[in-house]
Protein backbone atom coordinates (compact mmCIF):
# COMPACT_ATOMS: atom_id res chain seq x y z
CA UNK A 1 0.00 0.00 0.00
CA UNK A 2 1.42 3.44 -0.92
CA UNK A 3 2.45 5.80 1.86
CA UNK A 4 -0.16 8.39 0.88
CA UNK A 5 -3.71 7.57 -0.27
CA UNK A 6 -4.17 7.27 -4.02
CA UNK A 7 -7.30 9.44 -3.73
CA UNK A 8 -4.97 12.45 -3.49
CA UNK A 9 -4.64 14.36 -6.75
CA UNK A 10 -1.93 13.13 -9.12
CA UNK A 11 0.75 15.58 -10.29
CA UNK A 12 -0.40 18.05 -12.92
CA UNK A 13 2.92 19.24 -14.37
CA UNK A 14 3.63 22.55 -16.02
CA UNK A 15 5.62 22.64 -19.25
CA UNK A 16 8.85 23.10 -17.25
CA UNK A 17 8.02 20.23 -14.89
CA UNK A 18 6.96 17.73 -17.58
CA UNK A 19 10.43 16.15 -18.13
CA UNK A 20 10.80 15.62 -14.36
CA UNK A 21 7.52 13.65 -14.23
CA UNK A 22 8.19 11.80 -17.50
CA UNK A 23 11.45 10.55 -15.98
CA UNK A 24 9.63 9.64 -12.74
CA UNK A 25 7.26 7.50 -14.83
CA UNK A 26 10.40 5.54 -15.83
CA UNK A 27 11.44 5.45 -12.15
CA UNK A 28 14.33 7.82 -12.84
CA UNK A 29 14.77 10.69 -10.40
CA UNK A 30 16.30 13.55 -12.34
CA UNK A 31 16.90 17.20 -11.63
CA UNK A 32 17.21 20.09 -14.00
CA UNK A 33 20.83 21.12 -14.47
CA UNK A 34 22.04 24.29 -16.15
CA UNK A 35 23.77 23.37 -19.43
CA UNK A 36 26.12 26.35 -19.04
CA UNK A 37 27.20 26.44 -15.38
CA UNK A 38 26.07 22.96 -14.23
CA UNK A 39 23.99 24.22 -11.29
CA UNK A 40 21.14 21.86 -10.29
CA UNK A 41 17.76 23.33 -9.44
CA UNK A 42 14.33 22.15 -8.35
CA UNK A 43 11.47 22.76 -8.92
CA UNK A 44 12.14 23.18 -12.63
CA UNK A 45 12.30 26.71 -13.98
CA UNK A 46 13.05 28.15 -17.43
CA UNK A 47 16.08 30.19 -16.25
CA UNK A 48 19.16 29.29 -14.16
CA UNK A 49 19.15 31.20 -10.88
CA UNK A 50 22.96 31.27 -10.85
CA UNK A 51 23.89 32.44 -14.37
CA UNK A 52 20.54 33.28 -16.04
CA UNK A 53 21.09 30.75 -18.83
CA UNK A 54 17.96 29.27 -20.44
CA UNK A 55 19.83 26.13 -21.58
CA UNK A 56 19.22 23.10 -19.40
CA UNK A 57 19.60 19.33 -19.30
CA UNK A 58 18.48 16.61 -16.88
CA UNK A 59 20.84 14.81 -14.55
CA UNK A 60 20.18 11.64 -12.56
CA UNK A 61 20.01 11.92 -8.80
CA UNK A 62 22.06 9.56 -6.64
CA UNK A 63 20.16 6.85 -4.82
CA UNK A 64 21.09 8.33 -1.43
CA UNK A 65 20.03 11.65 0.02
CA UNK A 66 19.68 13.17 3.46
CA UNK A 67 16.83 14.76 5.37
CA UNK A 68 17.34 18.52 5.26
CA UNK A 69 14.22 19.20 7.32
CA UNK A 70 10.85 17.58 7.95
CA UNK A 71 7.49 17.96 9.61
CA UNK A 72 5.04 15.45 11.03
CA UNK A 73 1.44 16.14 10.05
CA UNK A 74 -1.21 15.44 12.70
CA UNK A 75 -4.12 17.40 11.24
CA UNK A 76 -5.65 16.44 7.88
CA UNK A 77 -5.33 18.95 5.07
CA UNK A 78 -7.40 16.71 2.76
CA UNK A 79 -10.19 14.25 3.58
CA UNK A 80 -8.21 11.39 2.01
CA UNK A 81 -5.27 11.67 4.44
CA UNK A 82 -7.30 11.13 7.64
CA UNK A 83 -6.60 7.35 7.71
CA UNK A 84 -2.80 7.81 7.43
CA UNK A 85 -2.25 10.41 10.17
CA UNK A 86 0.30 11.12 11.48
CA UNK A 87 2.58 11.14 8.44
CA UNK A 88 5.86 12.88 7.67
CA UNK A 89 6.79 15.31 4.93
CA UNK A 90 10.54 15.44 4.40
CA UNK A 91 12.73 17.80 2.41
CA UNK A 92 15.47 15.52 1.08
CA UNK A 93 18.74 17.12 -0.03
CA UNK A 94 21.36 15.73 -2.41
CA UNK A 95 24.75 17.12 -1.35
CA UNK A 96 26.46 15.80 -4.53
CA UNK A 97 24.08 17.90 -6.65
CA UNK A 98 24.87 21.27 -5.03
CA UNK A 99 22.30 20.47 -2.33
CA UNK A 100 19.25 20.41 -4.59
CA UNK A 101 16.18 19.47 -2.54
CA UNK A 102 13.01 17.46 -3.09
CA UNK A 103 9.83 17.42 -0.98
CA UNK A 104 8.83 13.81 -0.33
CA UNK A 105 8.17 11.34 2.50
CA UNK A 106 10.28 8.84 4.45
CA UNK A 107 7.88 5.93 4.22
CA UNK A 108 9.37 3.64 6.87
CA UNK A 109 9.92 6.27 9.57
CA UNK A 110 7.45 6.85 12.38
CA UNK A 111 6.99 10.33 13.87
CA UNK A 112 9.74 9.75 16.47
CA UNK A 113 12.20 8.27 13.97
CA UNK A 114 12.65 11.43 11.89
CA UNK A 115 15.97 13.28 12.23
CA UNK A 116 17.59 16.14 10.36
CA UNK A 117 20.65 14.78 8.56
CA UNK A 118 19.26 11.23 8.43
CA UNK A 119 20.49 9.29 5.38
CA UNK A 120 17.70 8.04 3.16
CA UNK A 121 17.49 5.82 0.08
CA UNK A 122 15.28 6.49 -2.95
CA UNK A 123 12.35 4.14 -3.55
CA UNK A 124 9.45 4.38 -5.98
CA UNK A 125 5.75 4.10 -5.27
CA UNK A 126 3.08 3.82 -7.94
CA UNK A 127 0.46 6.46 -7.11
CA UNK A 128 -1.95 5.47 -9.87
CA UNK A 129 -1.34 3.47 -13.05
CA UNK A 130 1.93 4.70 -14.59
CA UNK A 131 2.40 7.60 -12.14
CA UNK A 132 5.43 6.93 -9.96
CA UNK A 133 6.36 9.11 -6.98
CA UNK A 134 9.90 9.32 -5.59
CA UNK A 135 9.87 8.42 -1.89
CA UNK A 136 12.51 7.40 0.62
CA UNK A 137 13.37 4.78 3.20
CA UNK A 138 15.83 5.06 6.07
CA UNK A 139 19.29 3.99 4.91
ZN1 LIG B 1 23.66 28.38 -14.88
pTM, 2 dp:
0.95
DSSP sequence for the chain: --SS-TTSPPP---TTTHHHHHHHHTT--EEEEETTT--EESS--SS-TTT----EEEEEPPSEEEEEEEEEE-S-SSGGGGGG-SEEEEEEEEGGGTTEEEEE-BTT--TTT--TT-EEEEEEEEEETTEEEEEEEE-
CA of 80 to the centre of ligand 1 (A): 40
CA of 61 to the centre of ligand 1 (A): 18
d(CA 95, CA 101): 9
pLDDT computed for residue 36 by the predictor: 98
CA of 26 to the centre of ligand 1 (A): 26
Note whether 90 and 100 are within 8 A (CB).
no
Tens digit of pLDDT per residue, the chain (139 long)? Answer: 789 999 898 899 999 999 999 999 999 999 999 999 999 999 999 999 999 999 999 999 999 999 999 999 999 988 999 999 999 999 999 999 999 999 999 999 999 999 999 999 999 999 989 999 999 999 9
CA of 42 to the centre of ligand 1 (A): 13
CA of 49 to the centre of ligand 1 (A): 7
CA of 15 to the centre of ligand 1 (A): 19
Q: Which of 45, 53, 58, 48 is nearest to 15 (CA)?
A: 45
d(CA 127, CA 99): 26
CA of 19 to the centre of ligand 1 (A): 18
CA of 117 to the centre of ligand 1 (A): 27
Q: Identify residues whose C-beta is under 5 A from ligand 1, the ion.
A: 34, 36-37, 39, 48, 50-51, 53
Amino acid sequence: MPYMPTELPAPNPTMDERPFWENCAKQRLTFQRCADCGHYRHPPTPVCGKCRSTRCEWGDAPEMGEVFTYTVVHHPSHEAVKPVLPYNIAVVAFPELNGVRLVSNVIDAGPDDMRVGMKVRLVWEEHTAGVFLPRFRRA
